[in-house]
């Protein structure tokens, strides 16, 4: 009887073509599976809470996989981290019930999008912040964000509505927009699940509101239209983090 293990994973997505295994491409999933195979001598497929796109980072991605024999969680985690490239790390590793599923047991996910709103991005943040020099109206961004909270058809906020087999209606539980004294602006989005590039589209829309190119009230109009518009841009990948997954 196999034993199931759960991992919480952090990674810098800069050098990866996303999370999911792809032929002839460098992906986070492939990097972790390579390390597990090197450690166990077996080819093992890991199952994730959700995919992230090329260049997107994670602080709290979750995945599970099965082993035929029990391992010491701390020792196994340390061994994996010794094999993995330094831009991928297993932050937590634990034994779970045999029926735990990283994807289907998730009750909510939080993504955070980071913007540096100032003259120059600090060098150590250059791979993890979208740079916006123009002043941002945080209050207007908050008003627009409030209009997006709830159960809506988010077709206007996905890069390809036609690929969504299960439809484009999603429930967003919370969106917050905060600004630090230094100029770091954080858009945090919590929901049960998200469409393709939905969070980056929300960030792109809120940015346009922040710089005065769109009004906050247009959020409701886009939701009602339920179709993609070029007025809702997809923000660059580098500012996005899969922050946490709750079960």
Burial of 52 (0-12, 13-18, 19+ CB in 10 A): buried
Indicate whether 204 pLDDT > 70. Answer: yes
pLDDT (0 to 100) of residue 164? 66
Neighbours of 239 (CB within 10 A): 27
Q: Which residues contact 122 (CB under 8 A, 6 or more apart)?
A: 116
pLDDT (0 to 100) of residue 209? 98
At residue 173, what are phi and psi to the nearest 5 degrees?
A: -85, -30
d(CA 126, CA 87): 15
* 106 contacts 10 by C-beta, under 8 angstroms: no
Q: Rounded to two decimals, what is the model's pTM?
A: 0.95
Least trusted range by pLDDT, from 35-44, 53-62, 137-146, 160-169: 160-169
Least trusted range by pLDDT, from 58-62, 82-86, 162-166, 235-239: 162-166
Q: Give per-residue pLDDT as tens, 32-71.
A: 999 999 999 999 999 999 999 999 999 999 999 999 999 9
Domains and CATH numbers, the chain: 3-95 (3.30.70.580), 108-246 (3.30.70.660)
Which residue, among 47, 39, 44, has the nearest Cα to 19 in the 3D structure? 47
Indicate whether 165 pLDDT > 80. Answer: no
Residue 166's pLDDT band, with cuts at 50, 70 and 90, is confident
d(CA 157, CA 54): 18
53 has catalytic annotation: yes
Buried b / exposed e along 206-220 (16+ C-beta atoms within 10 A): bbbbbbeebebebbe
For residue 8, give the DSSP letter.
Answer: E
Of 53, 66, 105, 184, the catalytic one is 53
For residue 162, give the DSSP letter.
Answer: G
pLDDT (0 to 100) of residue 226? 85
């Amino acid at each position: 009887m196999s034993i199931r293990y759960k991992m919480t994973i952090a990674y810098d997505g800069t050098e990866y073509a996303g999370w999911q295994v792809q032929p002839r491409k460098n992906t986070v999933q492939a990097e972790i599976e390579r390390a597990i195979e090197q450690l166990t001598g077996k080819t093992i497929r890991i199952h994730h809470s959700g995919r992230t796109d090329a260049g997107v980072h994670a602080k709290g991605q979750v995945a599970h996989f099965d082993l035929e024999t029990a391992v010491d969680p701390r020792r196994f985690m340390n061994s994996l981290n010794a094999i993995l490239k330094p831009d991928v790390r297993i932050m937590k590793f634990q034994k779970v019930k045999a029926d735990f599923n990283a994807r289907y047991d998730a009750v909510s996910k939080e993504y955070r999008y980071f913007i540096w709103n100032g003259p120059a991005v600090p060098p150590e943040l250059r791979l993890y912040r979208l740079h916006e020099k123009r002043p941002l109206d945080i209050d207007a961004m908050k008003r627009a964000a409030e209009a997006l909270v709830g159960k809506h058809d988010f077709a206007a906020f996905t890069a390809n509505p036609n690929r969504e087999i299960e439809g484009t209606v999603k429930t967003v539980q919370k969106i917050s927009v905060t600004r630090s004294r230094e100029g770091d602006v954080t858009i945090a989005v919590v929901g049960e699940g998200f469409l393709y590039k939905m969070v980056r589209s929300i960030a792109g829309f809120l940015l346009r509101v922040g710089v005065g190119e769109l009004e906050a009230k247009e959020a409701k109009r886009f939701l009602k239209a339920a179709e993609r518009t070029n007025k809702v841009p997809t923000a660059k990948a580098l500012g996005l983090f899969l922050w946490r997954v709750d079960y």
